[in-house]
Amino acid sequence: MNHLTFKRHRRLRNSSALRSMVRETHLHVEDFIYPIFVVEGTGVKNEVPSMPEVYHLSLDLLNEEMDEVQSLGIQSVIVFGVPNEKDDVGTSAYASEGIVQRAVAQIKEHFPNLVVIADTCLCQYTDHGHCGVIENGTILNDPSLKLLADTAVSQAKAGADIIAPSNMMDGFVAAIRHGLDEAGYAHIPIMSYAVKFASAFYGPFRDAAHSSPQFGDRKTYQMDPANRMEAMREAKSDVEEGADFLIVKPALSYLDIIRDVKNEVQAPIVAYNVSGEYSMVKAAAANGWLNEKEIVFEKLTSMKRAGVDLIITYFAKDVARWLREKE
């Protein structure tokens, strides 16, 4: 055997301490953005059936949730609204007393150090469940832009630190940037859902947000999962229109796209570890089929390794606790 020549890679894996010293990718609690779903009413804390440990929360219970989030060291949350009233143009999305606007104002009043991101979309607020204005069964692009800009401005007025438009209409970043600037919010950044694929992984979220489309699907505005060049076009145009962060969604099946965007675009990249990715792990863990903590660390690390700077994840509180156990 003495004549064999080969590399001794195992030398750097001999102990836990040594492995930690040479570890290339790390997770920090500051990496995570925690999604919350706010609803009308009082005393509401209802678990989303397809998303264990994720809840619809009424505003009177919101401070308790934010106390826990802040105590765990999580620095940012993204707010999704589930309104009682819907109509064909999503009026409650841009109402000054809309559910997201009231939630944002409340969080900023009581937790001023938390970064509050407002999801900016119409599908939760329209009775047809699409992210824009409908005419004769067609989703109209340009008439939807003003409503999205109005929504963003109302959220900025409520105190949102970041606007996160998720609709995928053409020109949505430009319209929102113009609307914010005109209204005196030039300092508010936009976290664009720049690369959002039409994915079956969104199923549990639609249960949570009550946003399933009432006809057709969203493939005329969300991207074909087979397309890589299209993702680059979307990312680059959003940066040109004024996006400050770029989201790639979903995360796990699109790590190659995350790396491509990271290589091509000079902006912070955010992965959305979406509802389906969350629920699959929770369901398997509940059945004893896998080790939840190890799986979650492995998959979130894969997103960081692919190049993301931040991760929107329903696991944020779990991971924050597990990271503390390691300290």
Compute the distance between CA of residue 83 and CA of residue 125 in angstroms, rounded to an integer: 7
Instruction: Output the DSSP codes for 36-52.
Output: EEEESSSS-EEEETTEE
User: Has 206 been labeled as part of a binding site?
Assistant: yes
> Looking up tokens 């009432």, which residue turns up?
214
User: Has 34 been labeled as part of a binding site?
Assistant: no
Q: 3-class SS at 56? A: strand
Identify the H or E element spanning 276.
helix 275-286
> Which residues participate in catalysis according to the annotation?
196, 249
User: Has 233 been labeled as part of a binding site?
Assistant: no
User: Has 294 been labeled as part of a binding site?
Assistant: no
User: Has 218 been labeled as part of a binding site?
Assistant: yes
Phi-psi map region of 243: left, alpha, beta (phi>0 left; psi -120 to 50 alpha): beta
Phi-psi map region of 22: left, alpha, beta (phi>0 left; psi -120 to 50 alpha): alpha
User: Has 275 been labeled as part of a binding site?
Assistant: yes
User: Has 228 been labeled as part of a binding site?
Assistant: no
Spell out a b/e string for 299-322, using b for 16 or more CB atoms within 10 Å of the CB, else e: bbebbbebbbebbbbbbbbbbbeb
Binding residue ranges for 5-aminolevulinate: 206, 218, 275, 314
Binding residue ranges: 121, 123, 131, 206, 218, 234, 275, 314
Binding residue ranges for Zn(2+): 121, 123, 131
Binding residue ranges for Mg(2+): 234
